Amino acid sequence: MTDQPDSKREPVYGSDLMADSIAALGVKYISLNPGATFRGLHDSLVNYLDNEVQIIECPHEKVAVGLAHGYTKATGEPMAVVLHNLVGLLHGAMGIYYAYTDRVPVYIFGGSGPAAHDRRRAYIDWVHSANTQGGAVRDYTKWDYEPSSIASVPPVIARAARIAVTEPQGPVYVALDAALQEDKLPADAPPPALMSSTPPSAISPDPAALAVAVEKLMAAERPMIVAGFPGRDPLAFDQLVELAELVGIGVQDTYARLNFPNGHPLCANGTKSLESADFVLLLDMKDAEKATSSVDSVSRLTTSRIAADAVVIDVGFQDLGISGWSDDHGAPRDVDLMITADTKLALPQLIEACRKVVDSEPQSEAPRNASWRSQIAELRTKVKAKWQAQAAAERDVRPMSASRLASEVWEVVKDYDWVLTANTAEEWAIRTWDFDKAYRYPGRQLGTATQIGMSLGVALAHKGTGRLVVDLQPDGDLMFDAGALWVASYYKLPILLVMVNNRAYYNDWEHQEVIARERGTDVEKAYVGMEIDHPAPDFATLAKSFSWYSEGPIENPDELQEAVRRAAEHVSTTGGPALVDAVIRRRA
């Protein structure tokens, strides 16, 4: 919690006290699309707080939530959102759900009501109100509440903030009654005191269970780590390197957060190392099945990649905060030992315990698990050669391949202090760029209609740092929220947006091809209801209409690098946004 608001500032209206309570959380920004049910709070944020908590105006509530989501992931500092009544909440609902599944602590506020019927305007305040407004998002927020008196506002907001940042983290929702906002505070009594939102201490692992985990790990000859969310703490990036090098462990990063440098010799992504492991440590994995299984896209059958006799130990939050409504927690898994703990505490303790074992062993010139390290290195060499061969074969295709796009963009951004926002151009950025620092990547993209908002939030997080924020932006995603481009111009966000434009909703197009082949129907009709073509959107002209620097569409890969270089220079020198529309082929 930051310092209390200026004590010389005297709140007059209920919304002034609400604004003070939000400012007391230490938030720097609050995103919104305007709405009448928080007109009182809006006025207090602008005039009473003098924009101390800066408003970020967005063209849609889902963009507002996504922007806060991206900012919070990139900084670790929760951002706030305010949504208009029931209808604004419903518009923002998908963004809230994705923040929930991604474990991001966004503070969501809403104007509501008025609850008192005699304070409602005819029709509009009725059709936009709900008896329990928070019920619309209750299944995918950690907590929701609607304080019914002005005295209850500070403790409710403080508690909501504390719940949001308590691990496992997630969004919370507080509805603020429009009448309470606009009523004057009682003149004969001091306003209610603000309250601390200091979160509780982290969860430490059971020492006995951790000792068992260390014993089994140090006895393993082919150990592997599968990492989910440890990287929400930037310190984990170097801690995982330390642990891997100390013991000789391969690391498979799921990129839910950036957990491990992809250029490290023990990075096992893309290899078959997991299949050979005799010990697997799942670190802060919300859902391990995708990362540890292979799936037949036709039959939907899932097969574990982990050997039946391998020891599997899970360190994380387990079923804390599990939803009774959504299956976002994934399939149940059978493991040898589950340790409930925050990896912020568990990782340092694990390293310390392993180091004691290593120090007690006879000295050797060869590193621990030398044979396994060599095996991982050999598998890495093979998979890299496979990637390079594929990229070489695709180098001159027209329209360009995703591998060529990623390569040409990398040739430019490698000369900058860069950050990638979400999408990875069909994994090619992860395969070929050097993710060498914890802040390079806040974590994987989520579903369609989320990425542009989140990317703007990441750009806001790095504004003023001199870093070049890169968004490899799918066309289908931008089509949902094209108006979001205005936000980057208005707030002068340092974002280089390179369209990964295959002129299709191609993920679903592929599904239709799979079904057509399985059923013997016409594969050539898979484009129906899938293409974003005829006419093809002109994203460069669209961006220019919002005062972006833009170039494209570019189909010749030989022209892409210099276009990206010019755009990056524009972002670097002006601090404003630039877009390059790169047209890529649909995967063969």
Summarised one tens digit per residue, pLDDT across range 128-156 is 888 899 999 999 999 999 999 999 999 99
Above 50 in pLDDT, residue 372?
A: yes
Q: What share of the chain has pLDDT > 90, as a percent?
A: 81
Q: Is the per-residue pLDDT at 399 higher than 60?
A: yes
DSSP state for residue 30 in the 8-state scheme: E
**CA-closest candidate to residue 93, choices 130, 60, 57:** 60
pLDDT tens-digit series, residues 400-458:
999 999 999 999 999 999 999 999 999 999 999 999 999 999 999 998 889 999 999 99
pLDDT tens per residue across span 207-266: 999 999 999 999 999 999 999 999 999 999 999 999 999 999 999 999 999 999 999 999
* pLDDT at 3 > cutoff 70: no
The topology under which CATH files domain 14-182 is: Rossmann fold (3.40.50)
Window from 40-44, 288-292, 311-315 with minimum mean pLDDT: 288-292
pLDDT over threshold 60, residue 109: yes
Mean pLDDT over 544-549 rounds to 98
Q: Are 280 and 274 in contact (CB under 8 A)?
A: yes
188: which residues sit within 8 A by CB, 6+ positions away?
A: none
Q: Given this model, what pLDDT does residue 588 score?
A: 57
Q: What is the mean pLDDT of the chain?
A: 94
Measured CA distances, 359 to 236, 356, 362 (Å): 22, 5, 8
**For the residues 521-531, what does the mean pLDDT come to?**
89
Average pLDDT over residues 495-500: 98
**Residue 375 tokens, joined:** 């095996």
List Cα–Cα distances, 70 to 176, 215, 338, in angstroms: 24, 39, 31
Q: Where in the chain is the domain with CATH 3.40.50.1220?
A: 207-377
Instruction: Please give the span between the terminal C-alpha atoms of the chain, in angstroms, as a whole number.
Output: 52
Helix (H, G, I), strand (E, B) or coil at 569: helix
Tell me which residue has tokens 């905060």. 321
Architecture of domain 395-583: 3-Layer(aba) Sandwich (3.40)
Predicted confidence (pLDDT) at residue 18 exceeds the cutoff of 90: yes
Q: What fold, for 207-377?
A: Rossmann fold (3.40.50)
Gap between the Cα atoms of 65 and 69, Å rounded: 6
Residue 581 is predicted with a pLDDT of 98
Check pLDDT > 50 for residue 2: no
What is the pairing mode between strands 311-316 and 172-177? unpaired
pLDDT higher than threshold 80 for residue 56: yes
CA-CA distance, 391 to 329, in Å (whole number)?
35
Assess whether pLDDT exceeds 60 at residue 102.
yes
- Residue spans in the chain of domains classed CATH 3.40.50.970: 14-182, 395-583
Where does the pLDDT of residue 6 fall: very low under 50, low under 70, confident under 90, or very high at 90 and above?
low
pLDDT at 1 over 70: no
**What's the CA angle centered on 391, arms 387 and 392, to 5 degrees?**
115
- Global confidence as pTM: 0.95
Arithmetic mean of pLDDT, 544-562: 97
Angle between helix 560-574 and 402-413 (nearest 10): 40
Give mean pLDDT, residues 340-368.
94
Give residue-wise pLDDT tens across range 191-219: 888 888 888 899 999 999 999 999 999 99
pLDDT at residue 459 greater than cutoff 90: yes
Q: Could you tell me if 443 and 257 are in contact, meaning their C-beta atoms sit under 8 angstroms apart?
A: yes
